Amino acid sequence: MEVIKIDTIYDVKKTEDTILVLGYFDGLHRGHKALFDEAKKLSQILNLKISVLTFPESPKLAFTKFKPDLLKHLSTTEDRLKKFEEYGVDSLYLTDFTSKFAHTKADDFIRNYIEDLGAKVVVTGFDYTFGNERMGAEYLRKNFSGKVVTVPAVREPLEYGENEELTDKISSSRIRDAIDKGNIKLANNLLGYNFMIEGIVVHGDARGRTLGFPTANLVLTDNVHLPDDGVYVVDVNYDGKTYRGMASVGKNVTFDGTELRLEVNILDFSGDIYGEKLELIWLDRIRDMVKFDSIEMLVEQLKDDEEKARKWVK
């Protein structure tokens, strides 16, 4: 897959006719995948390659008051690129959603981006809008000479496995909300794959070692969402191998901690791995973060957590 950065309209250069997918794809969830599935079908019929025009950061940065969460993503930059490639994208065009870009007129967007990128077919989601007039698919159909395909929403029960008659569209905001609440099972179902983060192992208090549950303290390498405080079942990818583990997110309240920490106890593993990168695959939540009255009670709980982590299956 070729990745092309567009800083100005003069960087837009047609290479060949293409199927162009439009949108901001944070996490590349099942709703997004529906667009690429449609693009792949058309690609086989029309013998055209697939390209994408998207943004590295959320367009909301250009419109709303800044909050740190606006810079957080559902996947690392590397994983996002891998997903685009997995979904069949041949060329990925990235442009920053600035105030100047936001003021682009709809007709100029069609001419300077869609047509100049060689689009013969445009694939968008049902709620996609473009240009400073926030035009939608109907306007595009009237003013673009090629074919326009609008993919409907992919819907899912409000709670995974429950209330199956009450559904809502799969969206990045819904997934972020599930992760923020620690509902990893729901988030993974909406994503269509397991939520992942990457971190570098750094020195901590080494308290877990004294308890018989040594942990790797992690600092995130990308600005991604972190699940709510609690203990989770995870798989840990390190050095080409996958280990089962249990991760904790919180402030070590039993020891009156004040800093938010991410720690993982890697089962059936020993060794110093400071400075190494670990990939955590989040599988399910075990329990809330709890303050224990004694070290003995904490250790007993950790033993129970370990048993649940070892026995966990999808």
Tokens of residue 108, six digits: 């100029």
Tokens of residue 39, six digits: 């693009």
Q: If you average pLDDT over residues 194-215, what whole number do you get?
A: 81
On whether both 132 and 224 belong to a single domain, the answer is: no
On whether both 64 and 104 belong to a single domain, the answer is: yes
Q: Residue 52: pLDDT above 60?
A: yes
On whether both 237 and 299 belong to a single domain, the answer is: yes
Q: Which of 121, 152, 183 is the last residue of a domain?
A: 152
CATH number of the domain within which 87 lies: 3.40.50.620
pLDDT at 311: 96
Q: How many CB atoms lie within 10 A of CB 214?
A: 16
Q: Which of 143, 174, 191 is the last residue of a domain?
A: 191
53: enclosing H helix or E strand: strand 49-54
pLDDT at 38: 98
On whether both 219 and 129 belong to a single domain, the answer is: no
Percent of the chain at pLDDT exceeding 70: 93
Q: How confident is the model at residue 279 (pLDDT cuts 50, 70, 90)?
A: very high
Q: If you average pLDDT over residues 81-92, what whole number do you get?
A: 96
Comparing 50-64, 203-217, 272-286, the range with the smallest average pLDDT is 203-217
- pTM for the model stands at 0.90
Comparing 6-20, 43-57, 113-127, 155-169, the range with the smallest average pLDDT is 155-169
On whether both 180 and 243 belong to a single domain, the answer is: no
pLDDT at 294: 81
Compute the mean pLDDT over every residue in the chain, rounded to the nearest whole number.
Answer: 90
* Three-class SS state of 169: strand
On whether both 57 and 179 belong to a single domain, the answer is: no
pLDDT at 293: 74
pLDDT at 73: 94
Q: How confident is the model at residue 1 (pLDDT cuts 50, 70, 90)?
A: very high
On whether both 114 and 160 belong to a single domain, the answer is: no
The span from the CA of 98 to the CA of 144, in Å, is 24
On whether both 124 and 216 belong to a single domain, the answer is: no
Q: If you average pLDDT over residues 219-248, what whole number do you get?
A: 95
* Three-class SS state of 101: helix
On whether both 124 and 164 belong to a single domain, the answer is: no
Percent of the chain at pLDDT exceeding 90: 74
Q: Residue 206: pLDDT above 80?
A: no
Full domain range(s) for residue 76: 2-152
Gyration radius of the chain's alpha carbons: 22
CATH number of the domain within which 271 lies: 2.40.30.30
3-state helix/strand/coil string of 16-49? CCEEEEECCCCCCCHHHHHHHHHHHHHHHHHCCE
Helix, strand, coil distribution of the chain in percent, nearest 5 = 30, 30, 35
As beta bridge partners, residue 249 has 230, 262
pLDDT tens digit sequence for 127-181 = 999 999 999 999 999 999 999 999 999 988 776 555 556 678 999 999 999 999 9
On whether both 17 and 148 belong to a single domain, the answer is: yes
Q: How confident is the model at residue 207 (pLDDT cuts 50, 70, 90)?
A: low
Q: How confident is the model at residue 250 (pLDDT cuts 50, 70, 90)?
A: confident
Q: Residue 256: pLDDT above 90?
A: no
pLDDT at 260: 83
pLDDT tens digit sequence for 38-50 = 999 999 999 999 9
How many domains is the chain built from? 3
pLDDT at 13: 77
Angle among Cα 252, 256, 260 to the nearest 5 degrees reads: 45
Q: How confident is the model at residue 56 (pLDDT cuts 50, 70, 90)?
A: very high
79: enclosing H helix or E strand: helix 77-86
On whether both 14 and 94 belong to a single domain, the answer is: yes
On whether both 148 and 163 belong to a single domain, the answer is: no
